[in-house]
Structure 1
């Protein structure tokens, strides 16, 4: 069984989130997080998806929401454990992120989606805005969805 919840910056769960993001998103590109980069997340909305049994709880997916302005919020660092990708967990995280964005009165959710993730976001109602661009050395697209 799994459940989604908000994480507190600097908590043990947040540290687990960083490990998952590093494993899925950074290491394959030869990158690692810096303390300065992570400090920028202190006021962000941190979302974790946890698999639980009677004894343990472990993170299996996550994302970060960073406000851009009063109406626009950016989804960043979306990651699902590799062996659980394509199981619906990403969709659940995205839906949770959309609900949290609405609770905080944001009108639009946007992201810089890796080209390989574009079909996933399109299936969930997002559309491409603009041309392909490089970020961390790989092609990305800006994608957006009006939440209200």
Structure 2
């Protein structure tokens, strides 16, 4: 069956591709708002998004594969790939946009509009100017790169074990 020359089945697939992530995002954001009210903030710091990308591309081959798949799939949606390239250039060009504010809390970490419980982290690594918080994911060990600070390390040490 056609609707305006487009198959209804194809329209349904396109609708689901937008509806499901939107619904999941709304639920995730509601949980974030509840956590922001109830979690006690112990320390505020910043994530270096460029350092995150560099570390993950160096250490995690799965992350690289995911990035390649994302790039290939974006080719089919030209406007998304152009938007993604422009967004990445903007984010990594400006220091203010490159650094994301986060709050270290008693139950986990509050990111911009998101949250991670301490149980979702495998541990942490120290490396010069950064503390890398390593997440537990079945596919990839994606990290959060935080600017090193002794106070921050002492707080993280209370919740995570150091990985060498």
How does the TM-score come out when normalised to structure 2?
0.26
Which of structures 1 and 2 has the bigger CA Rg? 2
Query: Which has the larger share of strand?
Result: 1
Higher relative contact order (CA 8 A, sep 6+): 2
